[in-house]
Structure 1
Amino acid sequence: MLRYELSEADLGGVRFGISPLCELGLSLRAIRDPSQYPLQLPWLRRTEEARARLDLDGLLALVDDRLWTPDFLNPRPASPLTRIDDEFAALEQIPAEQFHGDLIRVHGAVPSIYSGPVGPAIRRMVRILREFWDSCFEPHWLRMRTILEADIVYRGRQIAQGGLFTMLNDLSGAVEFDGHVISVRLKNPASRTEKTDGLGLTLVPTMFTRRASAPVNHGDPPMLMYPARGQGAMWETERITNPAAIVAVLGEVRTSLLTALSAPASSTELGLRFGVTTSAVNQHLRVLRDAGLVTSTRYGRSVLYFRSELGAALLLGPVG
């Protein structure tokens, strides 16, 4: 059990971030034990051929049998707009003691593949991770990032409608918040309590944690990685059974989009989910927005759409 004791300043400093490097590192869990990550089996199948060409020994030396990864692969993101190139550049500059120390905390010793002179070992690790990113993540990152960003927008709406208490207690069944202390049930049987001392709390949605994850090192800046919503639909082309009367008015595609927008989504994500082009989705969304059935908001580089009250009332149908 991990407990973060939050001061009043920390409660005002809760923020969200997205870390591409964190996703990259946590994905090694799914490679090590696919049975633990059924929602990502389609990703494992699609990347199997590419992974066969990678330095798997170097990759798997960064995760142990408990599915722990070194904290240098879980940097605390400053915002939801973090770029992988910036994170790789920072990773190349990590001190030797941090590189060795984080590996030892995971494995009990530095894996042989990363022993020897530290500089070449770090450069080798970053090269291996870059190849992993380019072949297995970059082709899918736009959609992954869209799901992560949509989750953050959803959490922001939760805070606006129900407050911080409601949002934090909805992150995961492994997370509880009593108004002052966040308790996180981790696989690690050891318990520890950490005072955040005004450092705030960073919440990071991820595709590769089932319950919740946190830094291994004691005293690291408070960070909680939690499962992002909407992962289940990531790899499937969505088909929705729509009310016939609404289809007769809006058409099948627009009714499906309206039905799907109970949670925020971008036109790119919707195109992938429904197997149509982004430009076609944008045309339909413009019509729905002009009719007042959906609204939109810009989040970083994405425009996210969600159903308006009028759109929700239309799908609900007549009352009485």
Structure 2
Amino acid sequence: MPFHMHFGQDDLLRCRFAVSPLWETQEAVRTLKRPERHAYHPRWLRRIREAGRGLDLSALWLLMPRRGHSPDFLGPPPIGPAARFEEEIAAVRASDPVAALDDMARALACTPGAADSPKGRALLADPAAAVLELADAMEAAWHALIEPDWPRLRALLEADVAFHSRRLAEVGLGGLLPELDRRLQWDAGRLTVEWRDEHARHLSGQGLILIPSVFSWPDVISGFDPPWQPTLAYPVRGISGLWAEPSDRTPEALVRLLGRGRATVLAALDAPATTSGLAHRLGLAQSSVSAHLTALRGAGLLVSRRYGHQVFYECTPLGTALAAGGGVAQEFD
């Protein structure tokens, strides 16, 4: 069943992208309980196995029903385009206990028996203490599950924002939204999202925040009731190569043609990326990656585009053909 978002003129001017470490932490916690989300994350799951055993996520999981409402205050819309986790978790700790009580009660009601469980009753009995307990659990999850990999995750998320920001300039909001995910449809100022229940919201001049997400895959998540700003999280581009090591993605024919370093950098550019993002993901010195990017761009295999203070690199059609290990690369084999 659909979820309809109705845009007015002011809303069209107030749509923006954001990257949220708190959102990724929340969805990583949810992913641990959702086997259908595990397909793209086996290496991450192996890495965090030991760290995850030391976490008590029971209260968070209780508020994450399979269907229905999840508390908005635990993963609120990002406060800025590049918010730090410390800023976001501080906002969670400052949540109004009265509003949090209603938020938690709605979430618990979505799972039969959850509100009457010992943990459910404790959360509802003292919402101020519950807010702090849940924020502590989320912060522990951040340090164990996300923080060690955040540079890699952030690089992928920022590359997605850069790509779609360019598409927004090229095709406009009505053209962009259906490109974010096949479940999004745009028609004359109304965004329709495939949803579990019938729901509608007029954005009323607040606009829409668009969040690319690694751990919400394969779901498109939308909502946030007033007074929260409407937000939509969609699966990030390039997730299939996120956890791959350089040796997994670099064709040997390409290595013989370009050398190991340049071949590794080219093969890693399955989505636009910055020098620092590639360096962290590949475990190479930033100066080495910069030199390889300059050489590849000079050979016509890459182009660079500036977005704000960052420069993103992406493959040209020739670079894409070479990185795939076929076409031109095979001719030189």
| TM-score bracket relative to the smaller structure | 0.7 to 0.9
What are the superposed Cα offsets for residues 179-236 of structure 1, whole Å, 9 maximum, x if unpaired? Answer: 41000112x3x21221111111111111122131012536642211111111111111
Query: Where does residue 87 of structure 1 map in the other structure?
Result: 88
Work out which of the residue numbers 220, 234, 243 in structure 1 matches 2:242: 234
Q: Does 1:172 align with 2:172?
A: no
Structure 2 matches for 1:15-54, cutoff 5 A? 15-54=16-55
1:58 and 1:280 map into 2 onto residues whose CA distance is 45
Structure 2 matches for 1:61-72, cutoff 5 A? 61-66=62-67, 69-72=70-73
Work out which of the residue numbers 115, 127, 146 in structure 2 matches 1:118: 127
Q: Does 1:296 align with 2:297?
A: no
1:226 and 1:39 map into 2 onto residues whose CA distance is 15
Specify whether residues 71 and 41 from structure 1 end up closer, same or farther in structure 2 by C-alpha distance, changes over 3 A only: farther
Give the SS at the match of 1:168. Answer: helix
Query: Where does residue 9 of structure 2 map in the other structure?
Result: 8
Q: Does 1:194 align with 2:204?
A: no
What are the superposed Cα offsets for residues 45-73 of structure 1, whole Å, 9 maximum, x if unpaired? Answer: 21111011111323323312338531112
Give the SS at the match of 1:199. Answer: coil
Query: Where does residue 106 of structure 2 map in the other structure?
Result: 105
- The one-letter code matched in structure 2 to 1:195 is H
What are the superposed Cα offsets for residues 252-293 of structure 1, whole Å, 9 maximum, x if unpaired? Answer: 532453354363112344345555444432221133345564
Q: Give aligned-pair identity as a percent.
A: 32
Give the SS at the match of 2:167. Answer: helix
Q: TM-score, normalised by structure 1?
A: 0.86
In the TM superposition, residue 310 of structure 1 has moved relative to its aligned partner by: 8.1
- The one-letter code matched in structure 2 to 1:222 is P
What are the superposed Cα offsets for residues 232-258 of structure 1, whole Å, 9 maximum, x if unpaired? Answer: 1111114233766x964x435324533
**Alignment size in residue pairs:** 314
- The one-letter code matched in structure 2 to 1:15 is R
Give the SS at the match of 2:32. Answer: helix
Taking only aligned residues, the RMSD between alpha carbons, in angstroms, comes to 2.9
Give the SS at the match of 1:176. Answer: strand
In the TM superposition, residue 151 of structure 1 has moved relative to its aligned partner by: 0.5
2:99 and 2:222 map into 1 onto residues whose CA distance is 17
Query: Where does residue 112 of structure 2 map in the other structure?
Result: none
Query: Where does residue 208 of structure 1 map in the other structure?
Result: 215
1:78 and 1:165 map into 2 onto residues whose CA distance is 25
| Unpaired runs of at least 5, structure 1 | none
Please say if residues 28 and 145 of structure 2, whose CA atoms lie closer than 8 Å, have aligned partners that are also in contact: no
What are the superposed Cα offsets for residues 67-113 of structure 1, whole Å, 9 maximum, x if unpaired? Answer: 85311122112432111111111111111122111112211148234
Give the SS at the match of 2:229. Answer: coil
Please say if residues 79 and 88 of structure 2, whose CA atoms lie closer than 8 Å, have aligned partners that are also in contact: no
Query: Where does residue 154 of structure 1 map in the other structure?
Result: 163
Specify whether residues 228 and 268 from structure 1 end up closer, same or farther in structure 2 by C-alpha distance, changes over 3 A only: same
Query: Where does residue 331 of structure 2 map in the other structure?
Result: none
1:41 and 1:310 map into 2 onto residues whose CA distance is 31
1:228 and 1:278 map into 2 onto residues whose CA distance is 24
Give the SS at the match of 1:54. Answer: coil
Query: Where does residue 74 of structure 1 map in the other structure?
Result: 75
Please say if residues 174 and 211 of structure 1, whose CA atoms lie closer than 8 Å, have aligned partners that are also in contact: no
1:16 and 1:268 map into 2 onto residues whose CA distance is 21
Give the SS at the match of 1:32. Answer: coil
In the TM superposition, residue 299 of structure 1 has moved relative to its aligned partner by: 4.8
Q: TM-score, normalised by structure 2?
A: 0.83
